[in-house]
């Protein structure tokens, strides 16, 4: 009976005219550039770096005008950052974020503000937001030279499986997928990367990354996003080698004095954001994050200067939790006919590192020289105001306060040890940005702000007179224009005073506080659409950095330039030709030593046919013998005088290298 009923219903449906399915229109996404507050502020979409060689996350940061990076001990160590006359070491004066989550680590075992980006998979990045100078109310610690925020994707349009291989034992394998793209948006990425590098002693760098993100609209006015990532890597490094040993033929330029250098690290991060719009004029954003991080770093900077028998190897260990939050309420008003947007907010962060410094030989610990537990907290309320009294005038201003509390326990010397104690320090900051225009597609900018970088908690407790929060005061004037069709140009002149400079100390492999410094410089940047399929992008910067006593700031970049020509042909081929240049700069405060500059050329190409894609990159096209990182300090090789020899020590840059691969998109 049931079967007969089903047959009758089926026959009726077969005879009834089929109704066409309802039309489903594809979503239309309209993007407009966000208003900027300074001529040096840039937003870099993923399209601008999708052709770049993948596998080194920090490489894409080079598109920020004037920002130079270098690696000086194997691929797993955080890069060294240079920007606006700063040798920012591993991040002391450049604040780096991923979806608003801070990457810089306070009171780190190796260097203040240590910012390791290797947990970031480049294909998950939607855009880069780069801000120069201390002019932005939302930014506090380490935002002196500038800040960079990597904004991550919610989904990818196509799933990707890719494999690449190249010279020096380099391999990279990637899975990138979005299982859902509708009400619930998801993104999963898994990456494996290995390379031996060009060194005599194989680098054996191995990195594994995993990432997962989910985002959704929980209600009509409530959005949420959460992601988690995990990095694990290990490597061996050749470190910085003395120029005199290479010049005398005692050492190959890709050799090592101590081939036990290197390290291992891991980082697990959780980041969650909730955005609520209770009305058309109000937006409340709450972000929380937590990270667990470990590092064991083995280095030998001075070789046999302090210990002629076992050598001067050191082990720096860091184990920490980092947690924090950022809450802000943006309200758009009209007061006496004037558009006003107010954004009060508060930020909180806590770092709990255990930092150990030890003397080691061939990665065997001989003695601990420092072992401390640190609890470092900060609370930072702020208020931002954006006022538009007339359509050609915009004012963005505000203030923030940062209160730090340090609590340090000395595990070697017990209670009352020389590194035990607590302290509280605070610093206020003021920001003001004036934007005029646009007139004829041209805007003019004037900026002022005070900011700071924090110093290591151990140094603050050891020396109560030390400047714990070193103030930076900056000014900038500039212009952005699109007056010429297909052309976008910007020009900026800036100057900045810093209360306390951190410089590299080779004997300890860390930084030490120096006196105040002053910097100034200019930068030019431009984008040109030469043809429908041909694009030019370039920038040039110049800066000068000196201590107020007249000495040079070692390694501060002076002249940088970058340019690329990109072709995107309609039949599936895209190619890019890039040049980057870093001029000679002073390696010592007395101007007697020089860190050599370089000019490099890279070529990349991708070809897609239906679901398949092939890609290749050729780096250092001219096979230039360049130096990626350089330092001047005293070291001692066997047989040299006990006092050691002052010399430039360098990490060689990669020679000509070819990397190619294939991808399947589905």
pLDDT tens string 18-65: 444 444 444 444 445 568 999 999 999 998 888 876 667 777 898 999
Instruction: Determine, yes or no, domain membership for 82.
Output: yes
Give 333's strand partners. Answer: 340
pLDDT band at residue 614 using 50, 70 and 90 as cut-offs: very high
Instruction: Determine, yes or no, domain membership for 8.
Output: no
3-state helix, strand, coil in the chain (%, to 5): 5, 60, 35
Instruction: Determine, yes or no, domain membership for 36.
Output: no
- At 422, give phi and psi (nearest 5°): -140, 160
pLDDT tens string 352-409: 999 999 999 999 999 999 999 999 999 999 999 999 999 999 999 999 999 999 999 9
On the question of pLDDT at 4 being above 80, the answer is no
Question: What gap in Å lies between CA 497 and CA 544, rounded to an integer?
Answer: 12
Question: What gap in Å lies between CA 9 and CA 254, rounded to an integer?
Answer: 79
Question: What gap in Å lies between CA 443 and CA 434, rounded to an integer?
Answer: 10
Question: What gap in Å lies between CA 475 and CA 432, rounded to an integer?
Answer: 10
Q: Nearest-CA neighbor of 261 among 315, 307, 304, 309? A: 315
For residue 660, give both structure tokens.
């190619």
Question: What gap in Å lies between CA 15 and CA 6, rounded to an integer?
Answer: 14
Instruction: Determine, yes or no, domain membership for 6.
Output: no
Number of domains in the chain: 1
Question: What gap in Å lies between CA 663 and CA 165, rounded to an integer?
Answer: 12
Q: What is the mean pLDDT of the chain?
A: 92
% of the chain residues with pLDDT over 70: 93
Per-residue confidence (pLDDT) for residue 306, from 0 to 100 = 95
244 to each of 76, 367, 660, how far by Cα in Å?
A: 27, 31, 36
On the question of pLDDT at 3 being above 50, the answer is no
Mean pLDDT of 556-574: 96
Instruction: Determine, yes or no, domain membership for 18.
Output: no
Mean pLDDT of 639-645: 96
Instruction: Determine, yes or no, domain membership for 35.
Output: no
Integer Rg of the chain from CA: 27
pLDDT band at residue 464 using 50, 70 and 90 as cut-offs: confident
Instruction: Determine, yes or no, domain membership for 34.
Output: no
Per-residue confidence (pLDDT) for residue 400, from 0 to 100 = 98
On the question of pLDDT at 415 being above 90, the answer is no
Question: What gap in Å lies between CA 367 and CA 288, rounded to an integer?
Answer: 39
For residue 201, give both structure tokens.
């002693």
- The residue written with tokens 């201390």 in the block is 134
Contact 467, 456 (CB under 8 A): no
Query: Can you give the CATH number for the domain in which 266 is found?
Result: 2.40.170.20
Per-residue confidence (pLDDT) for residue 27, from 0 to 100 = 44
Per-residue confidence (pLDDT) for residue 53, from 0 to 100 = 65
On the question of pLDDT at 258 being above 90, the answer is yes
pLDDT band at residue 311 using 50, 70 and 90 as cut-offs: very high
Q: Nearest-CA neighbor of 323 among 274, 374, 292, 289? A: 289
Cis peptide bond upstream of 281, omega within 30: no
On the question of pLDDT at 338 being above 60, the answer is yes
What range does the domain containing 528 cover?
42-665
Question: What gap in Å lies between CA 576 and CA 605, rounded to an integer?
Answer: 6
% of the chain residues with pLDDT over 90: 86
Per-residue confidence (pLDDT) for residue 58, from 0 to 100 = 74
- At 365, give phi and psi (nearest 5°): -70, 130
Mean pLDDT of 646-656: 96
On the question of pLDDT at 6 being above 60, the answer is no
Q: Reduced to 3 states, what is the DSSP secondary structure of residue 4?
A: helix
Q: Which residues contact 457 (CB under 8 A, 6 or more apart)?
A: 106, 107, 374, 376, 406, 408
Per-residue confidence (pLDDT) for residue 73, from 0 to 100 = 80
Confidence (pTM): 0.93
Local structure of residue 247 (DSSP, 8 states): H
Per-residue confidence (pLDDT) for residue 35, from 0 to 100 = 82
pLDDT band at residue 511 using 50, 70 and 90 as cut-offs: low
Residue count (the chain):
666
Show the CA angle centred on residue 655, arms to residues 651 and 660, nearest 5°. 125
On the question of pLDDT at 508 being above 60, the answer is no
Q: Which has more pLDDT, 416 or 203?
A: 203
Instruction: Determine, yes or no, domain membership for 20.
Output: no
On the question of pLDDT at 227 being above 80, the answer is yes
């Amino acid at each position: 009976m049931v079967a007969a009923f089903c047959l009758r219903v089926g026959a009726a449906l077969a005879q009834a005219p089929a109704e066409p399915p309802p039309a489903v229109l594809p979503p239309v996404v309209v993007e407009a550039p966000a208003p900027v507050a300074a001529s040096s502020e840039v937003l870099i979409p993923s399209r601008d770096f999708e052709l770049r060689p993948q596998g080194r996350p920090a490489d894409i940061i080079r598109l920020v005008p004037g920002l130079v990076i270098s690696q000086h001990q194997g691929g797993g160590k955080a890069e060294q950052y240079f920007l606006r006359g700063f040798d920012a070491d591993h991040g002391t004066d450049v604040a780096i974020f991923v979806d608003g989550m801070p990457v810089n680590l306070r009171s780190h075992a190796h260097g203040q503000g240590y910012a390791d980006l290797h947990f970031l998979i480049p294909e998950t990045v939607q855009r880069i937001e780069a801000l120069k100078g201390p002019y932005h109310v939302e930014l506090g610690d380490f935002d002196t030279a500038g800040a960079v925020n990597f904004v991550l994707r919610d989904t990818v349009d196509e799933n990707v499986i890719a494999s690449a291989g190249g010279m020096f034992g380099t391999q990279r394998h990637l899975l990138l997928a979005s299982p859902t793209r509708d009400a619930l948006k998801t993104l999963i990425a898994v990456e494996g990367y290995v390379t031996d590098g060009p060194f005599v002693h194989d680098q054996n760098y191995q990195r594994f990354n995993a990432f997962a993100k989910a985002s959704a609209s929980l209600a009509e006015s409530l959005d949420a996003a959460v992601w988690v990532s995990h990095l694990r890597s290990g490597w061996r490094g050749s470190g910085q080698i003395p120029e005199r040993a290479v010049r005398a033929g005692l050492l190959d330029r890709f050799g090592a004095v101590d081939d036990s250098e290197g390290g291992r690290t891991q980082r697990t991060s959780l980041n969650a954001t909730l955005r609520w719009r209770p009305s058309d004029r109000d937006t409340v954003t709450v972000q929380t994050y937590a990270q667990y991080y470990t590092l064991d770093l083995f280095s030998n900077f001075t070789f046999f200067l302090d210990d002629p028998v076992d050598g001067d190897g050191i082990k720096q260990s860091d184990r920490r939790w980092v947690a924090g939050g950022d809450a802000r309420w943006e309200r758009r008003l009209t007061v006496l006919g004037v558009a006003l947007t107010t954004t009060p907010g508060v930020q909180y962060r806590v770092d709990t590192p255990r930092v150990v410094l030890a003397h080691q030989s061939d990665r065997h610990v001989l003695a601990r020289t420092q072992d401390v537990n640190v609890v470092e907290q900060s609370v930072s309320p702020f208020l931002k105001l954006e006022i538009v009294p007339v359509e050609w005038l915009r004012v963005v201003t505000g203030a923030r306060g940062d209160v730090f509390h340090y609590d340090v326990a000395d595990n070697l010397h017990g209670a009352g040890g020389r590194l035990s104690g607590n302290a509280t320090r605070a610093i206020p900051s003021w920001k003001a940005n004036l934007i005029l225009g646009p007139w004829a597609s041209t805007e003019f900018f004037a900026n002022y702000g005070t900011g700071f970088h924090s110093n290591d908690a151990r140094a603050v407790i050891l020396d109560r007179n030390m400047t714990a929060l070193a103030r930076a005061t900056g000014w900038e004037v500039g212009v952005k224009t699109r007056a010429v069709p297909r052309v976008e140009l910007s020009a900026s002149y800036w100057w900045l005073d810093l209360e306390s400079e951190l410089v590299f100390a080779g004997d300890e492999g860390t930084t030490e506080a120096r006196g105040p410094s002053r910097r100034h410089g200019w930068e030019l940047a431009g984008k040109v659409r030469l043809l429908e399929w041909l694009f030019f992008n370039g920038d040039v910067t110049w800066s000068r950095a000196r201590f107020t006593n007249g000495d040079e700031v070692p390694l501060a970049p002076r002249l940088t330039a970058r340019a690329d020509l990109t072709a995107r042909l309609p039949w599936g081929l895209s190619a890019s030709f890039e040049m980057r240049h870093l001029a000679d700069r002073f390696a010592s405060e007395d101007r007697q030593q020089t860190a050599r500059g370089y000019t490099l050329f890279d070529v990349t190409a991708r070809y897609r046919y239906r679901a398949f894609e092939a890609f290749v990159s050729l780096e250092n096209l001219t096979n230039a013998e360049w130096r990626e990182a350089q330092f001047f300090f005293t070291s001692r090789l066997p047989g040299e005088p006990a006092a050691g020899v002052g010399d430039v020590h360098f990490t060689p840059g990669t020679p000509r290298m070819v990397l190619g691969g294939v991808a399947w998109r589905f």
